[in-house]
Amino acid sequence: MRDEGCGYRKHALVWQQKAGRTNEELMIMSSADGVLGCVSAGLGYTIMGKNMVIGSRYEKPLCINPVSFGPKHVELSIVYRKDCPLEPGVLALAELLQIK
């Protein structure tokens, strides 16, 4: 996830807590490009606006799924590497987020 000041950070932490996944390690990056690079390398998943992924150099190897949970004025997606299916715990988070 991005460092302090990121608009999505608070929501991601709340969702992580509601999914009971507070013991997971967090990687803090200073840029969206850094976050996407880590996800593209298979080092986890992130929640961000799809406009951050579309057109980026990481778009091709990533999956983007809209989520319907959270603030109605912010459209978010869970982003993960295409050839790294989500683990059961992350699937539980995705279910909590009510992926469309």
Classify residue 1: in a domain, yes or no: no
Classify residue 2: in a domain, yes or no: no
pLDDT at 75: 64
Classify residue 85: in a domain, yes or no: yes
Q: Closest Cα partner for 61 from 87, 39, 81?
A: 81
Classify residue 44: in a domain, yes or no: yes
Neighbours of 47 (CB within 10 A): 21
| pLDDT tens, the chain, 100 aa long | 677 777 677 777 777 777 777 777 778 888 889 889 999 998 888 888 888 899 999 999 998 887 766 555 566 677 888 887 777 777 777 777 665 4
Classify residue 3: in a domain, yes or no: no
User: 28-32: long-range contacts (C-beta < 8 A, 24 or more apart)?
Assistant: 28/1, 28/2, 28/3, 29/1, 29/2, 29/3, 30/2, 30/3, 31/2, 32/2
Give the N- to C-terminal CA distance of the chain in Å, as an integer: 22
**Which residues form the domain of 65?**
9-96
Classify residue 86: in a domain, yes or no: yes
Residues with Cβ < 8 Å from 67, sequence gap 6 or more? 47, 76, 77, 78, 94, 97, 98, 99, 100
* Total tally of structural domains belonging to the chain: 1
pLDDT at 60: 92
